[in-house]
Structure 1
Amino acid sequence: MTSTEKEAFLPSSAEVELAKVSFVKLDKVLSERKSSDQVSCTLVINNGVEIDITPSAAQALLEVVNVISHGKAVVVNSIDKVMETQEAADFLNISRPFLCKLLDSGEIPHHMVGRFRRVKYEDLLAYKSRRITKQNQAMDELAAQAQELNMGY
């Protein structure tokens, strides 16, 4: 996850309030754009300059505005397509030894570069998605059991 140390953008209270309004508007526009299959977005700056951005950049902007609207600091970083084991473990918020067990068991694909393991970002996202799906299924089962047992949940 090659990244240089970047400074966090800490929003002022005025920026938080503006971000709340901006988030609602931007979210609405992007939702409409998704349903109409439009492929680009245009930002118009105060001086009238128009800037075309990709849908993925617009979605990233939406996420940044959402974080700012909650008064939180924002750091923008890029992620390499292939990560070392420690970077991958940090991304998944697990220990490196646990990640290595997942790699050895084949649950997450990897390849070797010399004697070092490398993991594709896409494979980490797929694992994370599977993990979230399993967690949601377990929560649904627990909720159903609680309902059957009249536990009041």
Structure 2
Amino acid sequence: MAATPLHPQTYLPDAEVGPLHDALAVPAAGSDQQYLVTGTGEQVPVPLETLRALRQVIEAMHQGLAVTVVPQSKTLTTQQAADLLGVSRPTVIKLLEDGEMPFERAGNRRRILLHDVLAYRERRRTQQYAALEALATAEEDDPEVVLDQLRTARRAVAARRRATTTS
């Protein structure tokens, strides 16, 4: 089999993905281990991370979505990390300097392990969800109370503006 070129590639959904979707949805013999069968009948175990990727791709295609596969190096530049996190490059540099993610220097360039960027993203998401949950459970969650607080705050800001412009 020829090697597949390593560049971003988009795959369109295929109507024949249904049986594969069903086969990957059910773990083999009560475990999460799956096997591929070679042309000679040999069973080859599929690594867990590969299985997760296959399940995600097949699930998306089963739902009629196109899938883009973008090969990534295990080490990223600050720009690649920024793109992955959805933030600016200076923000990533600040995170590195603040010790939020470990990195190595190669000359005057910073290199970040993909694993560390993904771990930071997961920590950040967990913190964001916790903050949202805390807001949702606060007593000020009543829309009328929040609206009254906003009105009061706006009036206070307007009064301060008037006081500084007339002085």
- Alignment: residue pair count: 139
In the alignment, structure 1 residue 70 sits paired with structure 2 residue 63? yes
In the alignment, structure 1 residue 23 sits paired with structure 2 residue 39? no
Q: Secondary structure at the match of 2:7?
A: coil
In the alignment, structure 1 residue 55 sits paired with structure 2 residue 9? no
Bigger radius of gyration, 1 or 2? 2
Identity over aligned residues, as a percent? 34
Structure 2 gaps, min length 5: 145-167
Which amino acid in the other structure matches residue 87 of structure 2? Answer: I
| CA displacement, residues 89-110 of structure 1 (integer Å, 9 cap, x when unaligned) | 1111211111111111111111
Match for residue 112 of structure 1? 105
Pairing 1:1-153 to 2, within 5 Å after superposition: 4-12=6-14, 14-15=15-16, 18=18, 22-29=20-27, 32-34=30-32, 40-44=33-37, 49-52=41-44, 53-145=46-138, 149-151=141-143
Which amino acid in the other structure matches residue 93 of structure 1? Answer: G
Question: What TM-score do you get using the length of structure 2 for normalisation?
Answer: 0.69
Which amino acid in the other structure matches residue 12 of structure 2? Answer: L
Structure 1 gaps, min length 5: 35-39
- Flag the 1:151–1:26 CA change in 2: closer, same or farther, 3 A: farther
Bigger relative contact order (CA 8 A; separation at least 6): 1
CA RMSD, 1 decimal: 2.9
| CA displacement, residues 16-69 of structure 1 (integer Å, 9 cap, x when unaligned) | 6x2xx64354223169414xxxxx421348x78555122222221111101112
Question: What TM-score do you get using the length of structure 1 for normalisation?
Answer: 0.75
Q: Secondary structure at the match of 1:59?
A: helix
